[in-house]
Amino acid sequence: MKRILVIEDEPQMRLGLRDNLELEGYEVMTAADGEDGLTKAFSFLPDLVVLDIMLPHRNGFDVCRELRRRSVGTPVIMLTARSQESDKVLGFEVGADDYVTKPFSLTELLARVKAVLRRTGRQGPEADHVTIGDLDIDFRTHQARRGSRRVEFTSREVELLRYLVAHTGQVVTREQILNDVWGYDESPTTRTIDNFVAKLRQKVEPRPHEPQYILTIHGSGYKFVG
């Protein structure tokens, strides 16, 4: 079942969209402001986000920009009450995939949702699932197995691993990890990152002291190699 996150502050619109998308067979989560929307985008891991532009706390442009900055490639359909061309341009600039102007018909929105899901079909670095050596990790359920044995990960460990995997082959600095995985409203130190990486290695690496997947790049940060 495809999962859709609806971020819309007008209750009637939000609930109407939820009900109708559910009737179409989607699993739907809603958020009434930009901040909550972002939080849910990271916990619910939707296949698609329907994102209003005019929102309290953080507007839709800001939410979309933040998702892309944190390497979340989930497709986004933006909704706006305005039909200004500049909104549309900005929407695409911050990484939206499609754009619907209010008022729109439900049929139109549903058609766009289907089209975007078909076009983007989640794969690649944003995959839900990864296999590292003999370890199998499902990013959605946070469940991991090695053979028949279950391996426990905390949510933060899974987020960190997911981030490293999404940047396979690239060096990511501790500062990037702090910004992108922890977010700026929390203030762990770079030392925290090192501790988390050490814990991840215990679970991921066959020989944690001689890592072959999560490499330390001296003086720079970390690099995941698949």
User: Exactly one of 2, 3, 9, 128 binds Ca ion (CB under 5 A); which one?
Assistant: 9
Type of residue at 206? P
Residue 57 or residue 156: which is nearer to Ca ion going by CB? 57
Residue 52 within binding range of Ca ion, rule CB under 5 A: yes
Stretch that binds Ca ion, among 35-43, 50-58, 154-162, 188-196 (CB under 5 A): 50-58
Q: What's the N-to-C CA distance of the chain in angstroms?
A: 28
Residue 33 within binding range of Ca ion, rule CB under 5 A: no
Residue 36 within binding range of Ca ion, rule CB under 5 A: no
Which residue in 209, 168, 175 sits closest to 192, CA to CA?
Answer: 175
* Structure token digits, residue 212: 């072959």
Burial 181-210 (b: 16+ CB within 10 A, else e): bbeeeeeeeeebbeebbebbbebbbeeeee
**Which helix (H) or strand (E) covers residue 28, if one does?**
strand 27-31
Residue 9 or residue 205: which is nearer to Ca ion going by CB? 9
Give me the least distance between CB of 54 and Ca ion, in Å please.
4
Give me the least distance between CB of 140 and Ca ion, in Å please.
29
**Binding residue count for Ca ion, defined by CB under 5 A:** 3
Stretch that binds Ca ion, among 52-60, 142-150, 184-192, 207-215 (CB under 5 A): 52-60
Residue 31 and residue 44: Cα distance in Å, rounded? Answer: 11
User: Exactly one of 3, 54, 102, 199 binds Ca ion (CB under 5 A); which one?
Assistant: 54
Q: How many residues does the chain have?
A: 226
Residue 54 or residue 90: which is nearer to Ca ion going by CB? 54
Q: Are 143 and 184 in contact (CB under 8 A)?
A: no
Q: What is the per-residue binding string for Ca ion in 87-126, x denoting contact by CB under 5 A?
A: ----------------------------------------
Type of residue at 9? D
How many alpha carbons fall within 13 Å on the CB side of residue 134? 7
Give me the least distance between CB of 51 and Ca ion, in Å please.
10
Residue 37 or residue 221: which is nearer to Ca ion going by CB? 37
Binding site for Ca ion (CB under 5 A): 9, 52, 54
